[in-house]
Structure 1
Amino acid sequence: MTSARRTLIDAETTPYYHIINRCVRRAYLCSEDTVSGKSFEHRRGWIVDKIKALSSIFCIDICAYTVMNNHYHLVLKS
Protein backbone atom coordinates (compact mmCIF):
# COMPACT_ATOMS: atom_id res chain seq x y z
CA MET A 1 0.00 0.00 0.00
CA THR A 2 1.26 3.47 -0.81
CA SER A 3 1.73 6.17 1.79
CA ALA A 4 1.33 9.92 1.61
CA ARG A 5 4.60 11.81 1.20
CA ARG A 6 3.95 13.83 4.36
CA THR A 7 4.13 10.59 6.36
CA LEU A 8 7.34 9.45 4.63
CA ILE A 9 9.37 12.66 4.76
CA ASP A 10 10.01 14.40 8.05
CA ALA A 11 12.09 17.55 7.53
CA GLU A 12 12.56 17.92 11.30
CA THR A 13 14.36 14.57 11.51
CA THR A 14 16.68 15.22 8.58
CA PRO A 15 16.41 17.50 5.56
CA TYR A 16 18.80 15.27 3.53
CA TYR A 17 17.79 12.28 1.40
CA HIS A 18 19.86 9.83 -0.63
CA ILE A 19 18.00 8.86 -3.80
CA ILE A 20 19.02 6.03 -6.14
CA ASN A 21 17.52 5.16 -9.50
CA ARG A 22 18.84 2.29 -11.61
CA CYS A 23 18.08 0.75 -14.97
CA VAL A 24 16.34 -2.59 -15.27
CA ARG A 25 17.45 -5.69 -17.19
CA ARG A 26 21.12 -4.66 -17.00
CA ALA A 27 20.48 -1.87 -19.49
CA TYR A 28 23.12 0.81 -19.86
CA LEU A 29 22.30 4.34 -18.85
CA CYS A 30 25.73 5.67 -19.84
CA SER A 31 28.99 4.09 -21.00
CA GLU A 32 29.45 1.49 -23.72
CA ASP A 33 27.27 -1.58 -24.06
CA THR A 34 29.68 -4.52 -24.21
CA VAL A 35 27.23 -6.70 -26.16
CA SER A 36 26.17 -4.31 -28.92
CA GLY A 37 29.20 -2.03 -28.81
CA LYS A 38 26.99 1.06 -28.78
CA SER A 39 28.09 4.04 -26.71
CA PHE A 40 25.50 5.76 -24.53
CA GLU A 41 27.92 8.28 -23.02
CA HIS A 42 25.99 11.20 -24.56
CA ARG A 43 23.15 10.53 -22.09
CA ARG A 44 25.28 11.63 -19.12
CA GLY A 45 25.02 15.28 -20.15
CA TRP A 46 21.29 14.96 -20.73
CA ILE A 47 20.77 13.55 -17.25
CA VAL A 48 22.86 16.23 -15.54
CA ASP A 49 20.99 18.97 -17.42
CA LYS A 50 17.61 17.44 -16.48
CA ILE A 51 18.62 17.15 -12.80
CA LYS A 52 19.58 20.84 -12.74
CA ALA A 53 16.40 21.92 -14.51
CA LEU A 54 14.12 19.89 -12.24
CA SER A 55 15.84 21.13 -9.10
CA SER A 56 15.03 24.72 -10.02
CA ILE A 57 11.42 23.88 -10.89
CA PHE A 58 10.71 21.94 -7.68
CA CYS A 59 12.88 24.10 -5.33
CA ILE A 60 14.98 21.18 -4.11
CA ASP A 61 18.65 21.66 -3.35
CA ILE A 62 21.00 19.10 -4.86
CA CYS A 63 23.92 18.58 -2.51
CA ALA A 64 25.66 15.90 -4.58
CA TYR A 65 25.03 13.67 -7.58
CA THR A 66 26.79 11.03 -9.62
CA VAL A 67 25.75 9.35 -12.86
CA MET A 68 27.08 5.80 -13.14
CA ASN A 69 26.88 3.26 -16.00
CA ASN A 70 23.45 1.88 -15.08
CA HIS A 71 22.23 4.10 -12.23
CA TYR A 72 22.54 7.47 -10.57
CA HIS A 73 22.65 8.81 -7.03
CA LEU A 74 21.32 12.11 -5.70
CA VAL A 75 21.70 13.69 -2.28
CA LEU A 76 18.80 16.10 -1.91
CA LYS A 77 17.92 18.67 0.71
CA SER A 78 14.26 19.53 1.15
Structure 2
Amino acid sequence: MARLARVEVLAADEIAIVHVTNRVVRRYFLLGNDPVTGKNFDHRKRWLDEQLIHQARHFGIDLLC
Protein backbone atom coordinates (compact mmCIF):
# COMPACT_ATOMS: atom_id res chain seq x y z
CA MET A 1 0.00 0.00 0.00
CA ALA A 2 1.52 3.30 -1.06
CA ARG A 3 1.75 6.10 1.50
CA LEU A 4 1.11 9.77 0.90
CA ALA A 5 4.15 11.99 0.64
CA ARG A 6 4.67 14.41 3.54
CA VAL A 7 4.22 17.32 1.16
CA GLU A 8 0.69 16.07 0.51
CA VAL A 9 -0.12 15.67 4.21
CA LEU A 10 1.62 18.64 5.88
CA ALA A 11 1.26 22.25 4.80
CA ALA A 12 4.57 24.12 4.71
CA ASP A 13 2.99 27.35 5.98
CA GLU A 14 1.30 25.79 9.04
CA ILE A 15 2.64 24.79 12.44
CA ALA A 16 1.84 21.17 13.28
CA ILE A 17 2.45 18.63 16.01
CA VAL A 18 3.50 15.41 14.32
CA HIS A 19 4.22 11.99 15.82
CA VAL A 20 6.93 10.52 13.62
CA THR A 21 7.98 6.89 13.76
CA ASN A 22 10.11 4.72 11.56
CA ARG A 23 10.63 0.97 11.45
CA VAL A 24 14.17 0.11 10.51
CA VAL A 25 14.39 -3.68 10.56
CA ARG A 26 11.90 -6.37 11.43
CA ARG A 27 12.46 -7.87 14.90
CA TYR A 28 14.95 -5.15 15.88
CA PHE A 29 14.52 -3.81 19.39
CA LEU A 30 15.79 -0.28 19.89
CA LEU A 31 14.63 0.00 23.51
CA GLY A 32 13.35 -2.35 26.19
CA ASN A 33 13.60 -6.13 26.40
CA ASP A 34 13.90 -8.43 23.42
CA PRO A 35 11.70 -11.40 24.37
CA VAL A 36 13.52 -13.77 22.02
CA THR A 37 17.14 -13.09 23.00
CA GLY A 38 16.46 -11.80 26.52
CA LYS A 39 18.72 -8.80 25.90
CA ASN A 40 17.85 -5.49 27.50
CA PHE A 41 18.41 -2.30 25.50
CA ASP A 42 17.38 0.27 28.13
CA HIS A 43 20.91 1.72 28.09
CA ARG A 44 20.03 3.30 24.74
CA LYS A 45 17.31 5.55 26.22
CA ARG A 46 19.72 8.19 27.55
CA TRP A 47 21.72 8.15 24.31
CA LEU A 48 18.54 8.54 22.24
CA ASP A 49 17.29 11.42 24.40
CA GLU A 50 20.65 13.19 24.06
CA GLN A 51 20.67 12.70 20.30
CA LEU A 52 17.13 14.03 19.90
CA ILE A 53 17.98 17.15 21.92
CA HIS A 54 21.17 17.65 19.91
CA GLN A 55 19.35 17.29 16.59
CA ALA A 56 16.52 19.60 17.69
CA ARG A 57 19.09 22.39 18.14
CA HIS A 58 20.06 22.13 14.47
CA PHE A 59 16.59 21.85 12.97
CA GLY A 60 13.53 24.05 13.32
CA ILE A 61 11.72 21.66 15.65
CA ASP A 62 10.65 21.44 19.29
CA LEU A 63 10.52 18.11 21.07
CA LEU A 64 7.40 17.50 23.14
CA CYS A 65 8.63 14.57 25.20
TM-score, normalised on structure 1?
0.59
Larger relative contact order (C-alpha < 8 A, sep ≥ 6)? 1
Q: Answer whether contact 1:32 1:40 (CA < 8 A) is retained.
A: yes
State the aligned residue count: 57
Q: Which ranges in structure 2 are unaligned for 5 or more consecutive residues? A: 1-5
Question: 1 or 2, which has the higher strand percentage?
Answer: 1
Per-residue deviation, 1:47: 0.9
* Coordinate RMSD, CA, aligned: 1.9
Q: Which ranges in structure 1 are unaligned for 5 or more consecutive residues? A: 66-78
Identity of aligned residues (%): 35
Aligned runs of 1:52-67 on 2, under 5 Å?
52-62=53-63, 64-65=64-65
- Give runs of ≥4 in structure 1 deviating > 3 Å: none
